[in-house]
Amino acid sequence: MSKLVRQLGSIERHLHKNEIIDLATDNVQAIIDSKKYDLLRVYVELKRYETYLHGLIKQLKKAALEKAVMKGSSSFEYDDARINISKRTKWDFSVDEKWSDLDRQIQRLTKERKIREKYLRDSNKVRVITDKETGEIIEEFDLPTEIQYGLTVRL
């Protein structure tokens, strides 16, 4: 794996995000084209690295934020990167009766939609329901579907 993944600090600092993505794309294409690697094993190992890096970033974020705040500016250049310090306000609207009522309605409608989706999935056959008196078509459907494959790695 050490030949496949760049060491910390070895990615050129002048590269922007899209250029780093392009570098990764070129590297992975070389890995695929070489046919030297078990690509599923490489993928699983990279997911381990991803989990590790997310853990590092999560733990470092508070300390890095404190250092950035000491710079005294909300936006500045640092180590060939643009740093922006953001501030967010979290609002609690539940004290408003109208908002709470709307929230309950949304929850109820979401539940109804899920029930309807289950009904439609379970009834997904080409079928026509007609009104016996008028002969009018009441319901006809064949749900369009698209099958997508994914890869889940649990560590």
Q: Considering the chain, what is the average pLDDT of its residues?
A: 89
Q: Is the pLDDT of residue 117 over 80?
A: yes
Please report which confidence band the pLDDT of residue 132 belongs to, taking 50, 70 and 90 as the band edges.
Answer: confident
Phi, psi of 92 (to 5 degrees): -115, 100
- For 70-102, the pLDDT digits (tens) are 999 999 999 889 999 999 999 999 999 999 999
Name the token pair of 1.
């794996």
Domain ranges of the chain: 17-84, 93-141
Phi–psi pair at 62, nearest 5 degrees: -65, -45
Structure confidence by residue, pLDDT tens digits, 44-61: 999 999 999 999 999 999
Structure tokens at 102: 């709307």
pLDDT over 70 for what percent of the chain? Answer: 93
What residues contact 143, with CB distance under 8 A and at least 6 apart? 120, 121, 124
Query: What does the pLDDT average to over 18-40?
Result: 92
The pLDDT of 12-36, averaged and rounded, is 91
